[in-house]
Each structure stands twice: as structure tokens, then as C-alpha cells.
Amino acid sequence: MQKLAESCEIDWYLQAELAYNKRFGAKYSIDETIKSKLDKKAVQKQCAKKKRFLQYRAYVRDNIFAVLD
């Protein structure tokens, strides 16, 4: 049973990245329009929205920040 559990280990970073990309699209093209306008408040708001999305799906903080960076 333990061998089965070890062989079926889940890559939570990959799962978080897949969920993020499914919801928000390619992660490198999301903030480009807002960043070009230099609207700091809008960038912070959008970042908080993305963090909440992943938190609601029970991803740990390390995975969330790895996906967003």
C-alpha cells in the first residue's frame, strides 16, 4: 500500500499552475495591459484576486507564490 502511495504522488505546484492557467490564461500575459498603464492599485487588486482564487482551492502558500512569480 505504501509503495502505491509513493508512486502516485501528486505534483501540487503543477496542479496549481494548471488551475491558474485554466482560469486566467497564460501566466506571463495577464498583467501586461495593466502594467503598461502603471496603475499600481489595479495591479495589486488583480494579484489579490489571483491569490484568492488559488487559496479557495486549498493550495498552500508556497505553491501560490511560485505560480504567481
Domain ranges of the chain: 11-68
CB 60 within 8 A of CB 11: no
What is the reported pLDDT for 59? 94
CA distance 13 to 54: 11
Instruction: Provide the pLDDT confidence category of residue 1 given band limits of 50, 70 and 90.
Output: low
CB 54 within 8 A of CB 22: no
What is the reported pLDDT for 5? 59
Give the tens place of pLDDT for each residue, 14-41: 999 999 999 988 755 545 655 666 677 8
Total residues belonging to the chain: 69
